[in-house]
Amino acid sequence: MQKDFDNWNEEKELANTKDTSDLYFYEGEIWWISLGVNVGFEQDGKSQQFTRPVLVLKKFSQNVFIGVPLSTSGKTGKYYFNFAFADGQSTASLSQIKLFDSKRLVKKMGFIEKEVLEKIRTKVKNIL
């Protein structure tokens, strides 16, 4: 499959100039993130903005956090965690955890229950 690196680079340049000084996000929230076009089997964003839902797993500052990309296609195995979200099913791709800059945040979708967040964190710790 051919990847659209050229258009992603244009979107990435726009994201880099974004002012996030008045943007607030918290652990346990799910956001649409400009994830982009990545190399090989790394998770890619979709749509014209190259976005994907991402769970804020650990916030380090107003500018950076560790996030877990999500999918609606249910998967099983030690590198996935399935949970209910927004009247549907979501799958956290635990092998794809990554550090993100808040400039990638596009739109907040909602949040998950604290118990679910803790289960995901435990599973990530066990993998690492």
Short-list 72, 60, 69, 57, CA closest to 117? 57
**Domains in the chain, number:** 1
Q: d(Cα 50, Cα 123) in Å, to the nearest integer?
A: 27
Single-letter code of the amino acid located at 90:
S
Q: Residues of the chain with pLDDT > 90: what percent?
A: 53
Give the model confidence (pLDDT) of 27-81 as tens digits: 999 999 987 655 555 565 676 676 889 999 999 999 999 999 998 887 889 999 9
Burial of 80: CB neighbours in 10 Å, binned 0-12, 13-18, 19+: middle
Whether 92 contacts 10, CB under 8 Å = no
Short-list 71, 63, 73, 72, CA closest to 105? 63
Q: Which residues pair with 65 in a beta bridge?
A: 59, 100
* Furthest-apart CA atoms within the chain: distance in Å: 41
CATH number of the domain enclosing 21: 2.30.30.110
Q: Which domain holds residue 43?
A: 5-127
Residue 121 pLDDT level (bands cut at 50, 70, 90): very high
The torsion defined by the Cα of 49, 55, 58 and 64, in degrees rounded to 10, comes to: 10
